[in-house]
Amino acid sequence: MNGIKRLSCGVFLCAVFATSSAWAEPSHEWTYGGEHGPAHWGEISKEFHACESGRAESPIDIRSAKQAPADMPRLKVHYQPLPIDITNTGHSVQFNAAPGTDSLSLGDQSYQLVQFHFHAPGEERFAGKASVMDAHFVHRSDDGKLLVLAVQFKLGMQANPVIQALLDRIPHEKDAELMARGVTINPLELLPKSTGYYTYSGSLTTPPCSEGVTWIEFKEPVTITQHQLHAMEAFYHGNQRPVQALNGRDIWDVE
């Protein structure tokens, strides 16, 4: 299917077990505005130095891309239904994945899904425009490499069933952790049907802004309703880092 192998589908309701948080946020306080906002992240802690001095930061504005060569490693997605726990981190609502599932591969390199979260508006820009919301799926390989899948959302008439299942279980209190009992979700159902994507080397979009992250930016958006968007925005709206300079990096167009 043009580079991505879709191996499973559906939303499954079943008993689940509690999972531990697999992705810890930095202990230093940071925000999306004011004196602790993105313009000052690099000043808050030496651990956040890359937020100010990095040369391969994310998000970026995708305005042009080179056609990917035939020998470039291609993405294959192996998502399976999995139990999650949900944490309101104070910066986003984070969905921590149960460990041990072979989530995806890029060429010969395998990655495990660690967590996914949402930004509203979306952080990626396409020809200067942001989507109403995006989802970032953070993956880690056995040797510590990071890969982020980014999915954009657009408004439509059809409710997204996975988004609704998550909305029904998000804790309202900051740092509150909720074990999602009685529901197992399949992240595959949050991905677009079309498999075309852009890829480039970037960073985490939150402190410590670590670089060397492989980004996969799906071209086709996924639909949510206005009601679902408003419900997500009730938790966080404006958790969007400004666009970062490309600094000569290549963006590759993969079909």
pLDDT given for residue 4 in this prediction: 42
Higher per-residue pLDDT: 217 or 16: 217
Q: Average per-residue pLDDT in the chain? A: 87
Mean pLDDT of 236-247: 96
pLDDT given for residue 17 in this prediction: 25
pLDDT band at 181 (very low <50, low <70, confident <90, very high): low
- Single out the residue of 213, 183, 164 nearest to residue 85, CA to CA: 183
Q: Which of 36, 40, 78, 91 is catalytic?
A: 91
Higher per-residue pLDDT: 84 or 134: 134
- Single out the residue of 87, 88, 86, 89 nearest to residue 30, CA to CA: 89
Mean pLDDT of 194-218: 97
Higher per-residue pLDDT: 139 or 11: 139
Asked whether residue 21 carries a pLDDT value surpassing 70, the answer given is no
pLDDT band at 184 (very low <50, low <70, confident <90, very high): confident
Higher per-residue pLDDT: 189 or 13: 189
Asked whether residue 71 carries a pLDDT value surpassing 60, the answer given is yes
Residue 154, φ and ψ in degrees, nearest 5? -130, 160
pLDDT given for residue 238 in this prediction: 95
Pairing relation of β-strands 252-254 and 66-67?
parallel
Higher per-residue pLDDT: 251 or 170: 251
User: How far apart are the C-alpha atoms of 24 and 85, rounded to whole Å?
Assistant: 13
Contact 145, 73 (CB under 8 A): no
Asked whether residue 22 carries a pLDDT value surpassing 60, the answer given is no
Tell me the β-bridge partners of 178.
86
Three-state DSSP string of the chain? CCCCCECCCCCECCCCCCCCCCCCCCCCCCCCCHHHCHHHHHHHCHHHCHHHHCCCCCCCEECCCEECCCCCCCEEECCCCECEEEEECCCCEEEEECCCCCCEEECCEEEEEEEEEEECCCCCEECCEECCEEEEEEEECCCCCEEEEEEEEEECCCCCHHHHHHHCCCCCCCCCEEECCCCEECHHHHCCCCCCEEEEEEECCCCCCCEEEEEEEECCCEEECHHHHHHHHCCCCCCCCCCCCCCCCCCEEEC
**Lowest model confidence (mean pLDDT) among 46-60, 123-137, 176-190:** 176-190
Mean pLDDT of 174-179: 76
Mean pLDDT of 8-12: 29
User: Which residues lie closer than 8 Å to 162 by C-beta, 6 or more apart?
Assistant: 11, 185, 186, 187, 189, 190
To the query of whether residue 91 is one of the catalytic residues in this protein, the response is yes
User: How far apart are the C-alpha atoms of 229 and 212, rounded to whole Å?
Assistant: 31
User: How far apart are the C-alpha atoms of 102 and 131, rounded to whole Å?
Assistant: 29
pLDDT given for residue 18 in this prediction: 27
**Lowest model confidence (mean pLDDT) among 113-117, 169-173, 221-225, 242-246:** 169-173
User: How far apart are the C-alpha atoms of 185 and 170, rounded to whole Å?
Assistant: 14
* pTM greater than 0.85 (yes/no): yes
**Lowest model confidence (mean pLDDT) among 7-21, 81-95, 171-185:** 7-21
Mean pLDDT of 231-240: 94
Write the CATH number of the domain with boundaries 56-249.
3.10.200.10
- Single out the residue of 154, 178, 175 nearest to residue 167, CA to CA: 178
CA 176 distance to own-chain centroid: 20
pLDDT band at 182 (very low <50, low <70, confident <90, very high): low
